[in-house]
Structure 1
Amino acid sequence: MSRLRPEAGILPPVSSPIAQQASFGERLRALRQARKMTLQQASKETGVAQSTLSKMENNQLSPTFNLMQKLALGLGIDMPQLFAPVHEARISGRRSVTKKQQGREHLTATYEHELLATELDSKRMVPFKSRVRARHLDEFGGWVRHEGEELLLVLEGDVLVYTEEYEPLPLSEGDSTYFDSTMGHAVVSVSKDDALVLWVCVAQ
């Protein structure tokens, strides 16, 4: 299977409900400035092009999972902190509850992500649900690829999991797969309606 270019997406207009809920660009700029970093310095620390950082801060570009992970690692934060306020208190026995459809939403061209437990920082896992809108592999601008490992569990519908090293894997409701996230991957729905899946990602 041929190598594909990295995926990118455009954020919804500022007037949309998602944009009104939270500005990713403002959050990213605040995190960078809190560390007294210029765009050039942030680019060096994160490995993300300066022009890409500028577009994200101005809400002109929606970050892919790979970009979010680079930003989190470079800024020394947990990925959900890119979308929610950082809580400084560190208390043992932490717990987080996310009510149905109350997670932080993040849209891409192929998925509708719902980030879970966003109020907790420094988590070892990044859990989120995704409504899979894509129906064909060519709808992706490229492979999704990032550090770590992940679990995918199908909650509703049927999906086809594409990976660089294996044949396409069909999964139905209740099925799951665990794989190396550095291997290019993409998931499409093969149901009449969009499938719903749960991801749990762990950075290494």
Structure 2
Amino acid sequence: IPGATLSRIENSKMSPTFSVLARIMIALDVDWIDLVGPRKLAPGEHLMSFTDADEGSRTQVRGMECVVLHSQDSAHSLSLTIDVHARDLSDVGGLVGHRGEEFCYVLSGTLALHFEGREPKLMEAGSSALFDSTTPHAYLAGAATGAKILVVVNRAYGSHMRSAGDQVEP
């Protein structure tokens, strides 16, 4: 990443794309939670979060419309819904791995779940997958109508959670 780009990001003059942020995190050997730091719950405080229909924080991740359902920094999981319409790996920046475990549930449509070294897994509404997120992967539409999925990522906090042999590429 060019130094000028990094400077603009550091000075809030530019927001990095997901792939740029992923490359920075991999180069620094940090997870995204290392960048923002998990908020510790106060003594006696319990994690609890509710999201009503049509609520959540809307964002774009790898060119897909996402709704983060619960974004508590102290949570060990991140839940979001994703509208998947891209049909080509280049449209989502290719395969990407990250620390943690991931659960995917197809709410509607047809999903093509891609993994490095494997044939894409076509999944219909009601199908689910659970996998080690370090395996480079990507969500693509398995049909022209796309898919809506629920994804729950169990976050691996900090570099101390990384196994000695983990190799994750952007």
Structure 1: how far apart are the matches of 2:120 and 2:84?
16
Give the TM-score taking structure 1 as reference length: 0.62
Number of matched pairs: 148
Cα RMSD after superposing both structures? 2.8
Matched, 1:125 2:77: yes
Seen in structure 2, the aligned counterparts of structure 1 residues 172 and 203 have a Cα distance that, compared at 3 Å, is same
Match of 1:95 in 2: 48
2:35 maps to 1:74: yes
Unaligned runs of 5+ in 2: 157-170
CA–CA separation in structure 2 for the residues paired with 1:53 and 1:165:
36
* 1:53–1:179 distance in 2 versus 1, CA, 3 Å: farther
Residues 67 and 82, structure 2, Cα contact 8 Å, conserved in 1: yes
Q: Indicate yes or no: 2:8 matched with 1:54.
A: yes
Instruction: Tell me whether 1:137 sits opposite 2:89 in the alignment.
Output: yes
Instruction: Quote how far apart the aligned CAs of 1:145 are.
Output: 1.4
Separation (CA, whole Å) in 1 of partners of 2:43 and 2:118 = 41
* TM, length-normalised to structure 2: 0.73
Rounded Cα–Cα distance in structure 2 between residues aligned with 1:52 and 1:102: 33
The amino acid of 1:134's aligned partner reads A
Superposed displacement of residue 63, structure 1: 3.0
Structure 1 unaligned residues grouped into runs of 5+? 1-47, 79-86
Q: How big is each residue's C-alpha offset from its partner over 1:95-144, in whole Å with a ceiling of 9 and x where there is no partner?
A: 211112211011145311111112x3310111111111211223232322
Q: Higher helix share goes to which structure?
A: 1
The structure richer in strand per residue is 2
Residue equivalent to 1:171: 123
